[in-house]
Amino acid sequence: MVIVDELSFRFVEGEGFKNFCQVMQPRFSIPSRVTIAKDIYQLFLEERKKLRVEFSKGGQRICLTTDCWTSVQNINYLCLTVHYVDSEWTLQKRIINFCQISSHKGESVGKVIESCLHAWGIERVFTMTIDNASSNDSMITYLRRKIKGWKGVVLGGEFLHVRSCAHIVNLIVNEGLKDLHDSIAAVRNAVRYVRSSPARLLKFKSCVEREKIEFKGLVCLDVPTRWNSTYMMLDAAIKFQKAFERYEDEDDKFVSYFWEDEGGKQKIGPPLDDDWKNVKVFVKFLKTFYDITLKFSATLNVTSNSYFHELCEMQNQLSELSKQDDSMLSSMAVSMKKKYDKYWGSVENINCLLFVAVVLDPRYKMDYLTYCCSIVYDSSTSETLAKNVKDTMYRLHEVYSGDKGESVANASSGEAATTSTTEAKTTPKEKGRLWSKFVRKMKEKNVNEYKNDVDRYLTDPMEDPTRSNFDVLEWWKNNATN
């Protein structure tokens, strides 16, 4: 109960809980908060031991995500999360560290992560997804150097660094919000005002009822550093525009609130008609990017195979909207497109594994990737990318299968030698039987002509791309070979 509901340990010593237990079962001995803390810590130790065994014995590789931040008390924190696909082809997520750190410097963070990986016995590190802070580049450099020789690290950590797609979208969108800052601030201040006291909120609700607004939600305040929360705030606020206008008529302090000096600065607001128009355009424009952020931020299902679709959708949206007659809309799109090009305009800036993940979705494979690339990039770049992705898949196949290509070459050479010897010894009387053998041989060749499983997979028919609720892990579970 304490863990699931995230209760404080002292909850078990509250009078209400004691009375509840007395009614439910008088013989139940309620443990103290000290006992609760000890029991939970013991449970943690047992679960950590089980997970450590799973990491060491399992054949799966581990993908890491991490983030650092500073609290209002000026304390630095780090959270480290692992993602992996278990033996039943189920995506798993575990937080393996949440701790204070001395600073956000790349090497300092790298040392903390390295120490944590040693403590958990994790060697088979595949990727690390992080945001675009400059310090993270030095952190990745440090980690790549340290784990390069670890057992199970793929290709010396060549594909270790994955830039957070959700963070890049955040940067792209914020670039487009610069020109709308005053309109957003005006609405934000209005929302903050009506939510600043129970009396104001009650009066605002009265305005909502009198304007006969049927929307069941209520205005919410955003976190300015998270653009998607800003989107949600504005999306809700525009539904209450008439209520805000009525509130302005009924509360004399509402207007004066926006013109009180704050350290020499004046607050922006209340929102005018132009502000509401700007906000409506913004909400409509960024609905696509909000949906993309939700898809990127999912934690209960695989997202890497959908990354490229969203990237193409974003690129198309920005290209089309930058040509709009609406000057504000086109200006936003142009600003965002510049930021998009900085991170995703060149394929060299994108981890190749994200393209491989698209190909490993049996609904799309290489044909879909090639087609989309031909739309987003020029023909030369598209061809180069397709070749690099296929080469990467061959290299990964060698790592995972242990096949360095020698067995294929030896088998081919042996087969050729055997065939040559047989034909040399063939007599004219055996020509009739030879034809049937030749036909059978060609059939076998058609089946076995693939160099490896990569060729076989790419050649097999694709799954129906319109299938709803397609589970890519379930498909691989059913089609994987031992």
SS3 68: strand
List the chain pLDDT tens, one digit each, 482 residues: 999 999 999 999 999 999 999 999 999 999 999 999 999 999 999 999 999 988 887 678 899 999 888 888 889 999 999 999 988 889 999 999 999 998 888 889 999 999 999 999 898 999 999 988 888 889 999 999 998 888 888 888 899 999 888 888 888 888 887 766 788 888 988 999 999 899 999 999 999 999 988 888 888 888 766 778 888 999 999 999 999 999 888 888 887 777 654 554 667 878 888 889 888 888 887 888 888 888 877 777 788 888 888 888 888 888 888 887 777 778 888 888 888 888 888 888 888 998 999 999 998 888 888 888 888 788 888 888 889 999 999 999 888 887 344 333 333 333 333 333 333 344 545 445 555 554 555 555 555 555 678 888 888 888 888 777 888 899 999 887 64
Q: Which residues pair with 92 in a beta bridge?
A: 84
As a whole number of angstroms, the distance between CA 190 and CA 195 comes to 9
As a whole number of angstroms, the distance between CA 370 and CA 310 comes to 15
Q: Which residues pair with 99 in a beta bridge?
A: 78
pLDDT (0 to 100) of residue 406: 36
pLDDT (0 to 100) of residue 24: 94
Q: Would you call 63 exposed, middle or buried from its count of C-beta atoms within 10 A (0-12, 13-18, 19+)?
A: buried
Domains of the chain, first to last: 1-55 (no CATH), 58-163 (3.30.420)
Q: Which residues pair with 127 in a beta bridge?
A: 63
As a whole number of angstroms, the distance between CA 478 and CA 185 comes to 52
pLDDT (0 to 100) of residue 8: 94
As a whole number of angstroms, the distance between CA 30 and CA 27 comes to 9
Element (H or E) spanning 392, and its range? Answer: helix 379-401
As a whole number of angstroms, the distance between CA 375 and CA 466 comes to 21
pLDDT (0 to 100) of residue 441: 56
Element (H or E) spanning 85, and its range? Answer: strand 76-85
